A = this chain, B = another copy of it.
Amino acid sequence: MLLRDRILEAAVRVYGAHGFRGATTRRIAEAAGVNEVTLFRTFGSKAALIDAAIRNRTAREDAQHLPAVPGDVVAELTAWAGSIHGHMRRMRSMIRKCMSEMEERPEMSGAACEGPTWAHKELRDYLHRVQEAGLASRDVDPMIAASMLMSSLFADAMGRDMMPSIYPPASSAAEQYVRVIARALGITVTPRATKRPGASRAASAPAS
């Protein structure tokens, strides 16, 4: 059934661009290259269609795991954070709409919360294992550290479009966040390989 998937994909695209109220059945039908009546025949109502579209999108998250026994913590975290960051950035339009409509339509936007909640737990548990292995100080609550790294990735993915000046370059953002968290945890971090020597320390002096 190819047509159903095409409609779902078009719906999530239009929803991401215009939100629930802005995602008119006309627009979705046009985006899917399908007659408007087909939407109602296949999904019953606009709400059911968009609900299915969001669920369909959030379902196929390829959940990436952190290693059960920590090795090179900074490298492992950087890879993981980079993938989470990329995922959030790809879904940013939809996530923004879901967040903004959570209060009005909790049953459909709620699915978007499961991903971050799961990822936070994954990260928190990993950091706990790192502490247990004696690789990090026990003075920092892993739950807080996990929250902060997740928050950094999240806010970066959401805000980079609107306020590019307050975030590091996208290519190295995840790594830099991980390194700060690692420092807080007392994990020894090797100095960054920067293109221009000396750029790593006090890189951004105040402009004014």
The interface residues of chain B lying within 8 Å CB-to-CB of A138 are: 201-202
Q: How far is the CA of A70 from the CA of B113 in the complex (A)?
A: 39
A96 in contact with B99 (CB, 8 Å): yes
Q: How far is the CA of A206 from the CA of B143 in the complex (A)?
A: 9
* Copies assembled: 2
Which A156-206 residues sit within 8 Å CB-CB of chain B? 156, 158-159, 161-163, 165-168, 176-177, 180-181, 183-186, 200-206
**Taking chain A's interface residues, is the majority helix, strand, or loop, or is none over half, making it mixed?**
helix
Which residue of B17, B99, B128, B148 is within 8 Å of A180 (Cβ)?
B148
A116 in contact with B180 (CB, 8 Å): no
The interface residues of chain B lying within 8 Å CB-to-CB of A152 are: 147-148, 151-152
Q: How far is the CA of A18 from the CA of B154 in the complex (A)?
A: 23
Number of chain A residues close to chain B: CB under 8 A: 65
A205 nearest CB neighbor, chain B only: B128
The interface residues of chain B lying within 8 Å CB-to-CB of A104 are: 17-18, 22
A144 in contact with B168 (CB, 8 Å): yes
A144 in contact with B177 (CB, 8 Å): yes
Closest Cβ of chain B to A24, distance in Å, is: 10
Q: How far is the CA of A186 from the CA of B18 in the complex (A)?
A: 45
Q: Are A102 and B161 also in contact (CB < 8 A) when A150-B155, A150-B166 are?
A: yes
Return 30 A-B CB contacts under 8 Å, by A number.
Answer: A18-B104, A21-B22, A22-B104, A93-B103, A96-B96, A96-B99, A96-B102, A99-B99, A116-B166, A117-B163, A121-B166, A121-B206, A124-B206, A125-B206, A128-B206, A138-B201, A139-B183, A141-B176, A142-B202, A143-B166, A143-B203, A144-B176, A144-B177, A146-B166, A147-B168, A148-B180, A151-B152, A151-B155, A154-B159, A183-B184
